[in-house]
Structure 1
Amino acid sequence: MNKTFHFQYILFFLVLFANGYCQNPLNLGNNILTADPSGHVWKDGKMYLYTSHDEECQKDFFMKDWHVFSSSDLVNWTDHGACLSVNDLSWADNFAWAPDCAYKNGKYYFCFPAGNGFKDRTNPKKSTKWMGIGIAVSDSPTGPFKDAIGKPLWTKPYANDPCLFVDDDGKGYIYFNGGGDYLVAKLADDFLSIKGDIQSMDMGGYKPKREGPWVFKRKDTYYYTMPEDNRILTYYTSKSPVGPWKYQGVIMDAEGESNNHHSIVEFKGKWVLFYHRWVENKSECGEKQRKVCAENLFFNEDGTIQKIKRTDAGVGNSFR
């Protein structure tokens, strides 16, 4: 084997390894720091990810905008830029945290948490931090989105990490973090307000601390998934979008003391788990920072979810 051929042989397998086996974190472009991925497949068949955007060495999750990414194969991604910023809001100036999006009647509804104030972690009684949930609208899945109502959907209770779920009959629901309870509200037909009261759901007697929920439907079963204790991905099932829910167990174990946030979505007949990891990053502060990853997700015959391990390979070339 001559040296030229030997070099080309090695280069070929290095490229093959890089493109086929090392997909985590996802290459979303320009080493951007992303978290809290919300995945959706719209009418063009592409996967769209709506994420929060960590700033380099940010202070206490002070975050300022949200990004949208799209892909046809989950390997090659397009960053469509910031679809909305706290600078576009009159009622909040910080905490651009975990978003979600829904589609109805030709419009895309971007649901986002934002707030103001300061959280005093040393003396919580001095904290002034407040967060609410807003709705922005666009004709395009990539935005730009415009704040549709100029205020949060409600001011009490304190709320963040929303999940929008649209059922087969077109009815919309919003799930969110609020005062530690497991809450849901029905959306009005225009998706710009809620209909009726915010409800506390029956979780079968088990309501641990958790981050934002993700709700989806498979066949005739509804799944309420969440980062339990902010770290362990777990889930419940129900025959109704508002419960009662039955706890089913762990999807993904914790990774140290780092938080997690996720979404689960069907793409090209297969299921995918998007989540974020805290990874080594060449930053001025030298700390681990968040980036979005993906894994294949599988169901058992009875509808329960098979436990997932984090991998460097991710989904590989499963969707090419």
Structure 2
Amino acid sequence: MFRKFCFGLLIATSFITFAKNPLQLGKGLRTADPSGHVWEDGRMYLYTSHDLECQEDFWMKDWYTFSSDDLVNWTNHGPSLSVDDISWADNYAWAPDAAYKNGKYYLVFPAGTGHKDRVNPENSTKWMGIGIAESDSPTGPFKDEIGKPLWSEPYANDPSLFIDDDGKAYLYVHAQGFDYHVVEMSDDMRGIKGTLEKMDMGGYEPKMEGPWVFKRNDLYYFTMPENNRVLTYYTSTSPKGPWTYQGKFMEQEANSNNHHSIVQYKGQWILFYHRWLDIDSACGRQRHVAAEYLFFNSDGRIKPAIRTQDDVADFAERAENNQPVSPKPN
């Protein structure tokens, strides 16, 4: 009887530990803005921002890297870059992205200086720019080789770095007065070609942050948190548009912001995003990275994504058996 009880307790404990959102990236660790990528070693890598406990107005100091081969058990590789390593910024280590090109791994990141005065905006001194760092390893450490932001004006954050099939690298950003802009990176990934270019969004341009661009079959997807809350998307046959608005694929949660990435891994499409949850915090709700399966209609449209408690806990089994995943009912 005792053995049966212990065995049952072990099963229950394993379920509680592994089979729920958010992802188990580290006890007490607050992560957000996940950028998912699969490199040549076959592992899934997540590049995230790191919320300090009870931080003031998103004052953030470093970026983390995690990896997994089953999306359940994650290796924490620790901070891969810190604002202490950057000469031109000392704060606002916000949403990063990553890419592989020229035999190196690149971390594109926003960082800044100053203070945002929300009561009297005219007194704000906050500024943010986009940096690019390099490493020989997907886990870093990354080094800011150029020692400056890619540009100084306009104020920008939330970079998304997309490498197309022809090897060209495109950088999409959220910027002050410059949303829905793109610029091609230089071949050495240490600068940009020309200036930011405004894309044709088909006449619909709501407030947005956190763009994420990916390609599926011959279709490009420009996805974003519309009004910083609801995940919506556009499609195009070109990485620079023109784009056609397709609507939302994930509703907002409890008036919380969202930031996401979408990547295919071992035959399944995965949506990484963050949730605001109160998990052993003295500050109330904090941000935590979560994951869901993502599905497409035959015409390429994204099916509505549903937040779940068990996330992708059965991923290893499905990948091993090459089982197709079906959407969960609403």
TM-score, normalization by structure 1: 0.96
1:1-320 equivalences under 5 Å are 3-8=1-6, 10-15=8-13, 17-18=15-16, 21-22=19-20, 24-180=21-177, 181-285=179-283, 287-320=284-317
**DSSP 3-state at the match of 2:12:** helix
Compared CA separation, residues 141 and 288, structure 1 to 2 (3 A): same
Following superposition, the deviation at residue 151 of structure 1 comes to 0.3
CA distance in 2, matches of 1:159, 1:189: 22
CA distance in 2, matches of 1:259, 1:143: 28
**8 A contact 1:47–1:74 mirrored in 2:** yes
Q: Deviations over 1:127-171 (max 9, x none)?
A: 111000000000000000000110000001110000000000000
Q: Deviations over 1:4-45 (max 9, x none)?
A: 2541453254145336632x1000123210000000000000
CA distance in 1, matches of 2:258, 2:18: 25
CA distance in 2, matches of 1:218, 1:61: 33
**8 A contact 1:38–1:262 mirrored in 2:** yes
RMSD: 1.2
Q: Deviations over 1:32-62 (max 9, x none)?
A: 1000000000000000000000000000000
Q: Deviations over 1:56-104 (max 9, x none)?
A: 0000000000000000000000000100000111100000000000001
CA distance in 2, matches of 1:222, 1:163: 14
CA distance in 1, matches of 2:63, 2:298: 37
Unaligned runs of 5+ in 2: 318-330
User: In percent, how many aligned pairs have the same letter?
Assistant: 65
CA distance in 2, matches of 1:259, 1:236: 19
Instruction: Give structure 1 regions of 4+ aligned residues with deviation exceeding 6 angstroms.
Output: none
State how many pairs are aligned.
316
Give the AA of the match of 1:272.
I
**8 A contact 2:17–2:24 mirrored in 1:** no
Give the AA of the match of 1:32.
L
**8 A contact 1:61–1:95 mirrored in 2:** yes
CA distance in 2, matches of 1:236, 1:60: 31
TM-score, normalization by structure 2: 0.93
